Amino acid sequence: MSDKIRAFIAVDMPIEIQTAIRDLQQGLNISGVKPVNPSLIHVTLKFLGETPQKKIEKVCRVLDSIDVPRFEVHVKGVGVFPKLKNPRVVWVGLEDDSNLQQIVGMLEEDLSKLGFERERKKFSSHLTIARVKRAGKEEQLMVADFVRNNSDFNAGTVLINEVKLKKSVLTPQGPIYSDIHTKELK
């Protein structure tokens, strides 16, 4: 048995957002594009990777030190990473995310003291709704059309009142996530 856990810090989405995304994903019936199971959709604040068990308790303490009140974000817009001509990830955006940005800044600072590497890229709050596994020209154009046709997607407002440390187990059927620790925002 490994003494490491594949872990990440995230914010889960409520069932209403999962349902809206499931409906949106209907338009992603494109060869080479694999939708994410809506029940697994979350905002990744920090991917920790293979984390030694002995560090998990310290990570929980970092989570517990987050001092941000509960807040709302708007779930709207659709885009891709890295760019429309070469999509790898299809996402739904989050607006009014200054509190998420603040939490990520705290996590980066405090977790770097525990030996976790700082992110090189600026945090971009989003929900990954699909991964592009392989796409020829035609599929890329279909993804670009999907993004343009859904640019006004609006799933509404979400109350963010928890930040979670999650475990990820990769299986051939897809990842299995479980909660290790939850920090409730007041």
Active site positions, annotated: 42, 126
SS3 137: helix
Q: How far is residue 65's CA from residue 44's CA, in Å, rounded to a whole number? A: 18
**DSSP collapsed to 3 states, 97-135:** CHHHHHHHHHHHHHHHCCCCCCCCCCCCCEEEEEEECCC
Listed in sequence order, the residues at least 6 apart from 112 whose beta carbon sits closer than 8 Å to its beta carbon are: 118
Q: How far is residue 77's CA from residue 150's CA, in Å, rounded to a whole number? A: 7
Write phi, then psi, for 142 (nearest 5 degrees): -65, -40
One-letter amino acid at 2 equals S
Beta bridge partners of 167: 7, 178
Residue 8 has a CB neighbour count (10 Å cut-off) of 19
